[in-house]
A and B are shown apart, each in its own frame.
Chain A
Amino acid sequence: MGRRSVRGDAGRHTDAEELAVYREFVGQLTSACDAVSRGDLEVRSRLAPAAEGVPELTALHHALNRVLDVSDAFVRESSAALSSAAVGRFHRKLLTTELLGAFRRSAVDINGARRAMQETDGRVTEAQTSRLRLADEFESVVLSMSEQVATAATELSASASGLTAAASAASTEVGTARETITSLTRSSTEIKEIKEIIALIDSVAAQTRLLALNATIEAARAGRRARASPSSPPRSRTWPTRRAGRPSGSPPRWSRSGRRRKTSRRS
């Protein structure tokens, strides 16, 4: 290889010197790319003075730095746009003015996501407002109900006092009733005995009427015999008795009177 110019008219370098310039440039470019691949977007290609006269190296230097500049800007701004949207600053959109190709498409997508977040936030805000309004209405209703409940409680308290008095009176009445019932229960025994006595009296009356009838009949017969034959003796008769339906508690009296009547009749 012969000699060639790498710095215009300023000087001429051997192929070995030109190779050294290229190697140095490739080395710094490789270092920059390695750093960027690790996420360090602060690095940039730096053009050594010896490489400034090489148009291809200068073009590559600027091309790489443009890649890094637009990547750096995109990372900073997309991050800021989404961070702003995350805290409700939806007016901060991602500017697409200088972005081309995939960068612009991504920026448009991010702005679309930002708008969606804004709409969602709007709906959430609206829902929250609605909930607050409902809460206010609920509070109002609760307050109104509380007043009504308080009023009702007062009335209930008064009613309870009345009921207490009524209950006390009722208790007294119950006591009275209980006494009455006790008394009535006691009286029923007497009533039962009275009924038995009435039945006994009724029975006695019936038998008395029979006795009277028999006596009348016997008297009539005696009169007829006396008129026909005064020496004939009177015929013995069995007195009818009414034992059916006789109260069980009265036999002694009935037996006694029966015997008394028999005795008196025989005597």
Chain B
Amino acid sequence: MLDTRPAPPAPRGTRAAPRPTGRERSFSADELIVSKTDVRGIITYANDVFLRVSGYDLDEVLGQPHNMIRHPEMPRAVFKLLWDTLGAGQELFAYINNLASDGGHYWVLAHVTPSQGPDGRVVGYHSNRRKPSAAAVRRVQPLYTRLLAEERRHPSARAAVEASSRLLADVLAEQQQGYDEFIWSIINREES
């Protein structure tokens, strides 16, 4: 039995970060990609769909930070929002482009939630990902492109994420909605 709550085992070795190839990988609409991390974001569990789509063996992902599958074209502001939301004990839905071990990518509609122990304390985080509709991905891509362009204007990662987070807040304010309303407006329109 794998207990996902205690500290993960030491990593058995890591690959060099793959270079994006632009080739898209996919999975079935009735499949769930599932992974769990501890409170530091270290992977403690990955299901078979995760391993198959990402192209990694279980040994390669257990104990690794979850951002090992982060695609370089994903804006950092989205992940800052993710961690801020989880830190507040809330769930978050987000369209995320992941990087597979071979440089391919796969878009997911991720649902991320805190995991609580018997005493109610947060013991880690859980993410399940669905196959998103192509229309939904097309709707978020322009926003992500803007955020990414903003981040690339700044030399440091810290300044970049602060700037793109401000831009995200401004864009949502212009639309007079919060992120939650924004993402659900896309989900409810584009997902079956």
Contacts and interface: CB of A to CB of B under 8 A. Distances in A.
Q: Do A and B come from one complex?
A: yes
Interface of A: 28-29, 31-32, 35, 40, 42-46, 62, 65-66, 69-70, 72-73, 76-77, 80, 89, 91-93, 95, 97-98, 100
Task: Name which of A40, A72, A89, A98 has the most chain B CB atoms within 10 A of its CB.
Answer: A98
Given A31-B1, A42-B5, A92-B184, A69 B128 contact: yes
Interface in B1-40: 1-5, 29-32, 34, 36
Interface of B: 1-5, 29-32, 34, 36, 45, 47-48, 91, 109, 111, 113, 115, 117-118, 123-124, 126, 128, 130-131, 180-181, 184-185, 187-188, 191-192
Given A44-B36, A76-B126, A98-B29, 11 more contacts: A32-B1, A40-B118, A45-B1, A65-B48, A73-B128, A76-B113, A91-B188, A92-B180, A95-B111, A95-B130, A97-B29
Contacts of B47: 62, 65-66, 69
16 contacts: A28-B1, A35-B1, A42-B123, A43-B2, A45-B2, A46-B1, A62-B47, A65-B48, A69-B32, A72-B126, A72-B128, A73-B34, A76-B91, A76-B111, A76-B128, A91-B181
A98 B32 contact: yes
Task: Name which of B34, B109, B181, B192 has the most chain A CB atoms within 10 A of its CB.
Answer: B34
Contact of A43 (B1, B48, B184, B185): B1
Contacts of A91: 180-181, 184-185, 188
Nearest to A45: B1
Contacts of A43: 1-4
A29 B29 CA distance: 28
B1 A69 contact: no
Nearest to A29: B1
B32 A95 contact: no
B13 to A, nearest CB: 15
B111 A44 contact: no
Nearest to A31: B1
A95 B191 contact: yes
A133 to B, nearest CB: 26
Task: Name which of A31, A66, A97 has the most chain B CB atoms within 10 A of its CB.
Answer: A97
Given A89-B180, A97-B29, A97-B131, A62 B126 contact: no
A100 B30 contact: yes
Contacts of A72: 34, 126, 128
A97 B113 contact: no
A46 B30 CA distance: 23
B128 A44 contact: no
Given A95-B191, A98-B30, A42 B3 contact: yes
Task: Name which of B1, B30, B111 has the most chain A CB atoms within 10 A of its CB.
Answer: B1
Nearest to B4: A42
Contacts of B180: 89, 91-92
Given A95-B130, A97-B192, A77 B36 contact: no
A98 B128 CA distance: 11
B27 to A, nearest CB: 10
Contacts of B31: 98
Contact of B188 (A35, A62, A77, A93): A93
Contacts of B3: 42-43
Nearest to B117: A42
Nearest to A40: B118
Contacts of B1: 28-29, 31-32, 35, 43-46
B32 A70 contact: yes
A257 to B, nearest CB: 125
